[in-house]
């Protein structure tokens, strides 16, 4: 019978040292791009070299601007809350929903649906002039 190879601590140290010198992937693979122009990259996990988590990052369109917007789907992917990157259809549906909400808010505002302050004691609940304060008491 053949003897299984023995595990030598010295050989393990030498192999780990050699693997640490080998060049690693520094540039990630381009995963996608959003409608703001941000590019999203990823370096996948490789347990054989001890890398257990994927590295994900994005490159913004303007490097020095710190007030940048990012779609919620891409942010969830960056933070690891979702495994797969968002599809173009998914992002465009959320953009359409966002635009519809903006349009509806402008319409409500144009009709005079602004919020007005309420009487003392009920500051936490907003008052709209079109609705009753107390049911059955009228406007």
Q: What is the pLDDT of residue 68?
A: 78
**Residue 18: inside a domain:** no
**Residue 137: inside a domain:** yes
Residue pLDDT tens, the chain, 139 long: 555 566 788 888 888 888 778 776 667 889 999 888 899 999 888 777 777 888 899 988 888 877 778 888 999 999 999 999 999 899 889 889 989 999 988 888 887 766 555 455 555 566 777 888 778 876 6
Write the CA distances from 40 to 58, 60, 118, integer angstroms.
4, 9, 47
Tell which residue, 56, 54, 88, 55, has the closest CA to residue 71: 88
Q: What is the pLDDT of residue 54?
A: 86
Please list, in sequence order, all residues whose beta carbon lies within 8 angstroms of the beta carbon of residue 58, skipping any fewer than 6 positions away: 38, 39, 40, 41, 70, 74, 78
95 and 53 inside one domain: no
**Residue 44: inside a domain:** yes
32 and 79 inside one domain: yes
Q: What is the pLDDT of residue 7?
A: 72
Domain that holds residue 78: 27-61+70-83
79 and 92 inside one domain: no
- The helix/strand/coil state of 2 is coil
- Tokens (6 digits) for 123: 């500051």
Q: How many structural domains is the chain composed of?
A: 2
């Amino acid at each position: 019978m053949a003897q299984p190879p023995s595990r030598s601590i010295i050989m393990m140290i030498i192999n780990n040292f050699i693997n640490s010198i080998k060049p690693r992937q520094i540039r990630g693979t381009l995963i996608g791009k959003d409608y703001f122009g941000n590019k999203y990259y990823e370096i996948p996990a490789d347990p054989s070299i001890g890398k257990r988590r994927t590295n994900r990052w994005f490159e913004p369109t303007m490097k020095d601007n710190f007030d940048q917007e990012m779609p919620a789907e891409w942010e969830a992917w960056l933070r690891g809350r979702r495994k797969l990157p968002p599809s173009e259809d998914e992002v465009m549906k959320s953009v359409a929903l966002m635009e519809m909400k903006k349009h509806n808010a402008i319409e409500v505002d144009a009709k005079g649906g602004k919020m007005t302050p309420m009487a003392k004691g009920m500051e936490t609940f907003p008052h709209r002039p079109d609705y009753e304060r107390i049911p059955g008491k009228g406007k």
